Amino acid sequence: MENLVEESTKSFSIQVTEEGQGKRLDLFLAEANLSLSRSQAKHLIEQKMILLNQKPVKPSIHLKTGNVISGTLPQPASLSLKPEPIPLLVLYEDPSIIVINKPAGMVVHPAPGNPSGTLVNALLHHCNDLSGINGALRPGIVHRLDKETSGVMVVAKNDESYHQLTRQFKNRTVEKVYLAIAHGNVKHNEGQIDSAIGRHPDQRKKMSTKAKKGRVALTRWKVLERLGPFTLLEVHPQTGRTHQIRVHLSSIGHPILGDPLYGKKGTVEMMKKMGRQALHAHRLGFTHPRTGERIRFVAPIPEDMKEVLGLLRSERSREI
């Protein structure tokens, strides 16, 4: 493909070669050297900021050799959020990325009801070079954890790193390993859940495997330890749907201990001690966006989960 980008105005023009013949426009742009994800490309096409042969088109249009794609890329949004001196547990940092161990109870980025005290506010205080390509409210954020899920996260510090990391998550080449304490004695030693996930038909805050328009979701799991009425699982989500692990485990009758949305009701003593869903992002492996080296980071199991596991082991030993 011939790719001309004017840095000063961020306008560009690309002539499609045989290599791009038949490809969807949004996919083609995501694979071009424009630092765009497919969803970003789709949005710009729908906003008529990207044209095909000088005409607005749909993101799904298939390209032909000789087509000319042109448009203007918006400058990364300036970051207007307030930096806050919130302590961060940094596992690794270099000019391209920062890897942190997010505590339970911390929201990743500001949203209605959570304007401050978020991971982003803390990162803005810690770093002065976060990528702004994902917008003013989510600088550098390439993936996220639920508020009450603890564990390892990577954040991009420049636009190229953001683009490289989002592509890895999209292509499912990122290793994601979670630890979960699930209700019940899980029957098999390992298995997988292959059920599409979408918005719950009646409860809009929840996701469900029974949604009419669910997206493909795959979760692999294996038993690490059986603890009487609970099981410690190692969970490997192959996709990244909202609440995926929580929804999938609940769908097979083994919801996560302490999960307020998908868990069991009642005042089980262990639920009160946990105070949140017992889900921890334990390990994250990916290719470094600058060096190309395969790297892996581990966030040790947090104290609250350690305490509950200790109590469950004690009860289990007394029963035996």
Dihedral sign, Cα of residue 165, residue 171, residue 172, residue 175: negative
Residue 69 tokens read as 């794609």
Give the long-range contacts of residues 7-15, CB within 8 A, separation 24 or more.
Answer: 9/72, 10/72, 10/73, 10/74, 10/75, 11/70, 11/71, 11/72, 11/73, 12/69, 12/70, 12/71, 12/72, 12/73, 13/68, 13/69, 13/70, 14/68, 14/69, 14/70, 15/66, 15/67, 15/68, 15/69
| Annotated catalytic residue within 26, 94, 129, 146 | 146
Q: Assess whether 194 carries a catalytic annotation.
A: no
Are 251 and 214 in contact by the 8 Å Cβ rule? The answer is no
Residues recognised as catalytic:
146
